[in-house]
Chain A
Amino acid sequence: MQYETVIGLETHAQFHTRSKMFCGCKTDFGAPPNTQTCPVCQGLPGTLPVVNRTAVELGLRAALALRCHIAPVTQFDRKNYFYPDLPKNYQVSQNYHNLGVDGRLEIEVDGQTRKVGIWNVHLEEDAGKLEHPEDTGANYTAIDLNRAGTPLLEIVSAPDMRSADEANAYMNELAAILRHLGISDCKMQEGSLRFEAGISVRAVGGEEFGNRVEVKNLNSMSAVVKAIEHERHRQVAVLESGGTVPSQTMLWDVQREVTEPMRSKEEAKDYRYFPEPDLVPIEISPEWLDQVREQMSELPAVRRKRFIAELDLPPYDAGVIVEQKPIADYFEQTVEQGVEPKTAANWMMGEVMRVLNERQCEIDDLPVSPPMLAELIGLVTDDRISNSVGKTVFSEMCSSGKKAGEIVEEKGLAQISDSGELEAVVKQVLADHPDAVADLESGKQQAKGFLIGQIMRATRGKANPKLAGELIDRLTGD
């Protein structure tokens, strides 16, 4: 029998706000334990929450970008459960009057566009973290409440995805939107973007959904993809052997790359949601929504289309560049300096991303501004320096913050485009490699590449390769 996988995703994104959801504490990642806490986020008795208006506005941006119906009045609810990382033993979340409902996100897979329904977008507070000591004999667990109360956006999709590829496209598109709109930095390694997947299988063309397995502890997009594949195989095997898949909650084991059932005790939960009486309902006026709309930048899908249509970028390039807003902004600013878009795109996807990867930093951390990159690209396109020297110069710019022209000048890296100057070098290389010359003269063209390489080496990359080729042709009397 042919099976199809049915996938819904719950996404938690930490907001990119300076302060927490219900108090003024900072939300910086990696601070020493319990240094970013106050009586409110510690859940001390008598304290009360106050809503972070910025978080509500960022949530509205997400709800608008995901084409949701916006609640005219939104309200917080309490989700009650006991866990030591949750100091009040209830989480302030939304259940009855979500910020946005009934939205959609368009994704593209294999050139096909699909709509994924968004059931709701809502606000909540994050929990703290339990730190289990490395010493396995230790008889304690430490609690760090720095993260407790960090604003979270939860986005619940409909079970509209049918493959791991579609889930992957959904996650990437969602992350691009959240980054573009300044809602979340979506740093999965810091836990600012987390997923839970609802996965079931059914016979292709079936009307009823299969029993749903909820997979938690998915800390990367690749984990989601692997978990979907794993669950698909596991569930199909159960059905093929005549069994039924139980509805249950599973945990993804990152090391072993398998799903494991959660203890049933942890699973059976009645959260006893009820309206949070310490907070008043929030009215979302049309005027407020208009203000939020005005603050929203172009959505990634729109931007990609514009790059393809107006800048003539290949769809692949547009996809890579638009994935991260700072990269896309940087690219556009470089193009504004007069650089040909495809050339700028090549630089962004090549050298710029390589350096960012190497240094594990953000583009805003580089001392190289878009006009500085444009100047460098200009030197290469004008044949003032070779492409390979250009790469060296870029690395140097990233280290020293100096301008390309300055570096080329200081280090004497300008391309040798003077045939007289280069001719002496070419003659010397030909004299040193008579075998290669003979090969070339007998028609082996790859020998020419070797000789150009030797010329580049002798000139430390400064030779104009086109001119060097011409000189070889002339001097070997080909």
Chain B
Amino acid sequence: MPELIELSAGDLHRKLMAGDVTARQIVERYLDRIEQIDGRVGAFNTVTAEAALDKAADIDDRLDKGEAVGPLAGVPIALKDNLCTRGVPTTCSSRILEHFVPPYDATVVERLQRADAVLIGKTNLDEFAMGSTTEASAFATTANPWDLSRVPGGSSGGSAAAVAAGLAPLALGSDTGGSIRQPAAFCGVTGLKPTYGRVSRYGLIAYASSLDQIGTFSRDPRDAALLLEVIAGHDPRDSTSAQEPVPDYSAELEKDVAGVKVGLPREYLAEGIAPDVEAAVRAAADTCRGLGAEVIDISLPHTEYAVATYYIIGTAEASSNLARFDGIHYGRRAAGKMDVDELYSRSRSEGLGDEVKRRIMLGTFALSAGYYDAYYLKALKVRRLIKKDFDDALAGVDCILAPVAPTVAYKQGEMIDDPLALYLADIYTSATNLAGLPAIAFNAGTGEGGLPVGVQLMGRPFEESGLLRLAHAFREATDHHLARPNLTED
């Protein structure tokens, strides 16, 4: 039998159903690997070993009795630590929520429970999902499994690293300006950011409500399809979740890609892109041609405004979303006796990190009287133009092939004092969130230092199927996915 940690989520589930392995064996193997390796990677904030073993026992028990189990039965999954889990600390990697234990489950968590997935732990992130290195976590730095001196990307760095290091076959993250795709690219795994509204945000601790979307990490597109099938669909508790039916992504995956039109946006391959990344994108375009796709040069003219627009809208929403962390109702409260204004000020000063404070101040400014029209309202208008760029382009092509980040993974500490440079590196990902489109990032080769280089496919709203299909065909046609980080167990 091949190593359990080498198996895809789908294969693990099939082995379980065939009686080749028990849920307990799977979970124990993963817990053991976390024990052996996570000291070096630092992907997890919390490992829920006991609950995972209980769940595994329950699944095995039901299988013994011949009872039905869900489509993800026995498959361990890690959750970004901004997804609410009843009874399990949900910290957003922030001091202010260090001891916060939600009394309820996020909708995605409920759906995973119902599908009999096994929640194995909560993963590290940049505090409140604000960042792209996971260095802005208040608790720990997560290492890139391919090179432990490098960052895994962010903000869903813990989830990406967990999947890359074989600590979980599946993970969930959230993507507001690239927070799934960029770490997926840095860690050489598959990261899917679904269409805005495809997956309920209920229970996702908001950074920027109009941009946030929960998505998946997996080793391959097939597992992404399997996981998306479970978590997608309308939720009456989230008014922004769509009423669109959920297709059978796994079945759709197998269809032919010949004749698919792939757009290559010239603005994404202009100044600022590292040669290894550009080479990977062009090679991916060649692979697509080889698969029978037609690659077409396209333009997304407002690309240069995406980062500024994203940081105005994102921080404006964040300044309001994060107001509730005030030390009054829950979470960290400053010690001592003081009046309420000082209590707010001290609790927030002590409980929130620099990057979070920076974005709250930016957003507060953008919404202030006298600046609202010049910043926030202007940004909303540009957002419409960016959306129109994509609408126009996607009228002529089925999907868009693009880089994910301008470079491969940074060295730890390399970018920590240059927030603006980090913001600018969101150039290829943030426009997708502004337009609400689906996108999938996956490993497309090796770049500088033997590090993975990712590319992404963006598509029309609710056409995740097409993206998964082309990403799957790409994987079948290449062998980038065979590379593994060199992490030996003790």
Give residues in A with beta carbon < 8 Å to B: 39, 42-51, 78, 80, 82, 84, 87-90, 139, 143, 270, 272-274, 277-280
Contact = CB atoms under 8 A, between A and B. Distances in A.
Contacts of A82: 323, 326, 341, 344
A288 to B, nearest CB: 17
Contacts of B247: none
A277 B317 contact: yes
B237 A39 contact: no
B84 A46 contact: yes
A48 B202 contact: yes
6 contacts: A44-B104, A45-B324, A48-B201, A80-B320, A272-B368, A279-B240
Contacts of A49: 239
Contact of A46 (B206, B319, B320): B206
Contacts of B367: 80, 272-274
Contacts of A89: 323-324, 326
Interface string B37-81: 000000000000000000000000000000000000000000000
B395 interface: no
Interface of B: 82-84, 90, 92, 97, 100, 102-104, 106, 201-206, 208-210, 236-240, 316-317, 319-320, 323-326, 328-330, 337, 340-341, 344, 364, 367-369, 372, 376
Contacts of B372: 272, 274
Given A80-B367, A88-B324, A277-B210, A42 B329 contact: yes
Given A44-B104, A46-B84, A87 B329 contact: yes
Contacts of A39: 102-104
Nearest to A45: B205
B326 A46 contact: no
Contact of B239 (A47, A50, A90, A139): A50
Contacts of B320: 78, 80, 90, 272, 274
A88 B328 CA distance: 11
Given A48-B237, A139-B337, 7 more contacts: A39-B103, A44-B84, A45-B205, A46-B106, A46-B205, A82-B323, A84-B328
Contacts of B340: 84
B331 to A, nearest CB: 8
A5 to B, nearest CB: 30
B239 A280 contact: yes
A143 B240 contact: no
Contacts of A143: 328-329
**Which 6 A-B pairs give the minimum distances between C-beta atoms?**
A89-B323, A277-B209, A272-B367, A277-B210, A45-B205, A46-B203
A67 to B, nearest CB: 30
A35 to B, nearest CB: 15
A58 to B, nearest CB: 19
Name the prevailing secondary structure of the B interface residues.
loop
Contacts of B83: 46
Given A39-B104, A44-B102, A87 B369 contact: no
Contact of B236 (A44, A50, A87, A280): A50
A48 B238 contact: yes
Between B92, B328, B341, the greatest number of chain A beta carbons within 10 A of the residue's beta carbon is seen for B328
Contacts of B102: 39, 44-46
Given A51-B239, A274-B316, A46 B202 contact: yes
B368 A90 contact: no
A139 B338 CA distance: 10
B84 A270 contact: no
B402 to A, nearest CB: 26
Name the prevailing secondary structure of the A interface residues.
loop
B209 A278 contact: yes
Contacts of B205: 45-46
B45 to A, nearest CB: 15
A273 B373 CA distance: 12
Contacts of A139: 337
A278 B206 CA distance: 10
Contacts of A88: 323-324
Nearest to B340: A84
Nearest to A282: B239
A278 B326 contact: no
Between A50, A278, A279, the greatest number of chain B beta carbons within 10 A of the residue's beta carbon is seen for A278
B397 to A, nearest CB: 29
A50 B337 contact: no
Given A39-B103, A87-B329, A270 B368 contact: yes
Nearest to A279: B239
A80 B104 contact: no
B299 to A, nearest CB: 29
B324 A272 contact: no
A45 B323 CA distance: 10
A149 to B, nearest CB: 14
B84 to A, nearest CB: 4
Contacts of B319: 80, 272
A43 B325 CA distance: 10
Contacts of B317: 274, 277
Nearest to B200: A48
A422 to B, nearest CB: 75
Contacts of B203: 46-47
A88 B330 CA distance: 11
A51 B82 CA distance: 25
A50 B104 contact: no
Contacts of B209: 277-278
A90 B323 contact: yes
A297 B450 CA distance: 75
Contacts of A47: 104, 202-203
B276 to A, nearest CB: 37
A90 B321 CA distance: 9
A278 B240 contact: yes
Contacts of A273: 367
Between B97, B320, B337, B364, the greatest number of chain A beta carbons within 10 A of the residue's beta carbon is seen for B320
Contacts of A80: 319-320, 323, 367
Contact of B330 (A44, A50, A272, A277): A44
Contact of A43 (B92, B201, B324): B324
A244 B435 CA distance: 53
Nearest to A79: B320
Given A48-B201, A87-B329, A270-B369, A280 B240 contact: yes
B74 to A, nearest CB: 27
Contacts of B324: 43, 45, 87-89
Between B90, B236, B240, B341, the greatest number of chain A beta carbons within 10 A of the residue's beta carbon is seen for B240
A73 B112 CA distance: 36
A42 B328 CA distance: 12
Contacts of B104: 39, 44, 47
A343 to B, nearest CB: 54
A277 B320 CA distance: 11
A280 B84 CA distance: 23
Nearest to B367: A272
B98 to A, nearest CB: 13
B181 to A, nearest CB: 21
A427 B199 CA distance: 94
Given A39-B103, A39-B104, A272 B326 contact: no
Nearest to A87: B329
Nearest to B241: A48
B321 to A, nearest CB: 9
A42 B104 CA distance: 12
Contacts of B100: 45
A417 to B, nearest CB: 69
Contacts of A42: 329
Contacts of A44: 84, 102-104, 330
B379 to A, nearest CB: 11
A47 B202 CA distance: 6
A259 to B, nearest CB: 24
Nearest to B92: A45
Contacts of B337: 139
A50 B328 CA distance: 24
B94 to A, nearest CB: 10
A82 B368 CA distance: 15
Nearest to B105: A46
